[in-house]
Copies of this chain bind each other. A is one copy, B any other.
């Protein structure tokens, strides 16, 4: 019989970071406290009542009356997969808009389902070009779905979800929308915009811990799932089964064991959002973006995304001249100031930094810390930036 030594590992004590990357964002102590409340059973009547509250709170956050508005028990990429695996069948044609990393992931999802992805390509950092979507719809009258990213986490670009959904519906297509980074941070109206299937993440502008993906499906989308010709590829993500646990007023049927404590945390984050008011949260994200932007621009940094399409919660800036090793800058920020900012991803790796102002991270003190630390490290490392002006510029914008 093999023998295995008992590993000698101590409890893990993380450093206290300020999280200004592309997510996870800073988690409010109220949410961490909710997370640690005593675990109860996933079929406990108290828990089931809490699940109903989560649905109502999510409907508000997403601005929808969709009955099927629930958190998937896994990260955002499983939320994405939940949308595709339920709505797409082998042989279907799906128009996929790509202007960053996550459009590419959508393509992967479509192709693994045996369906065809018609790609609408735009440059990284640009919004999805609505005219190109129209062209693709005209060229592919048999397309069933249009899928696009509302808020590209890899670039910080926002696309016109309302216009794309209108076009899609005009061509009898359903829409699948990635709102991982927009939910709670910038305007998002599922019903008014006609979004049929949407997924998001817990760890961005909701400032909850990572690991949960809120989704919502319109009645038309639910009908499509119910009338599939073939079974859903995934048992775990099959909404026909998940609805038995989360849906309606009937007796809850066990499907899988819900991540009880993570849902306590999501509940708390949604209560906090409701208390603040959704539009107030959007306005706060915008206001704080203006202050960070004023500081970064005063320092001489430039934004990747045009102002009109820029997400206030995710600021991609070009790495300034004179920085030989961008990873060293991020390491110094982390090691010397416990400050995390994000690297570039995919085509933008090594070229940009992504500075998040999401949820609880979107605060005046974070903006000042980020500008001060960045200025200090960058000037020490010989970057060509303006010094001594960023903080005043940010403060002025904060006072507006």
Interface residues of A (CB under 8 A from B): 1-2, 4-17, 19, 21, 23-24, 26-27, 30, 32-42, 44-47, 50, 53, 56-57, 59-60, 63, 73-78, 80-81, 85, 105, 108-109, 111-113, 189, 191-192, 201, 203, 209-211, 231-236, 254-262, 264-265, 267-268, 270-271, 274-275, 277-278, 334, 340, 345
A234 touches B235 (CB 8 A): no
Which of chain B's residues has its CB closest to A62's CB?
A: B4
Q: In the bound complex, do residue B271 and residue A15 qualify as a contact, i.e. CB atoms below 8 Å apart?
A: no
What is the oligomeric copy number? 2
CB–CB A75/B256 < 8 A? yes
- Contact between A17 and B34, CB atoms less than 8 A apart: no
User: Does A112 lie within 8 Å of B231, measured CB to CB?
Assistant: yes
CB distance from A193 to the nearest CB of B (A): 10
Point out the residue from B9, B14, B271 that lies within 8 Å of A47, measured CB to CB. B14
Told that A4-B278, A27-B39 touch, could you supply 20 new A-B pairs with CB distance under 8 A?
A4-B59, A5-B60, A6-B278, A8-B274, A9-B267, A10-B271, A14-B37, A14-B46, A14-B47, A21-B41, A35-B35, A45-B334, A73-B78, A85-B234, A108-B235, A112-B233, A210-B258, A211-B260, A233-B233, A233-B234
CB contact between A36 and one of B36, B254, B259 (< 8 Å): that residue? B36
Instruction: Provide the residues of chain B in CB contact with A209, threshold 8 Å.
Output: 39, 259-262
Contact call B274/A7, Cβ cutoff below 8 A: yes
Let me know if A105 and B9 touch, CB within 8 A.
no
Chain B residues with Cβ below 8 Å from A77 are 235-236, 255-257
Nearest CB to that of A270 among chain B residues? B9
Which chain B residues lie closer than 8 Å to A278 at the CB level?
4, 6
The answer to whether B234 and A112 touch across the interface, beta carbons within 8 angstroms, is yes
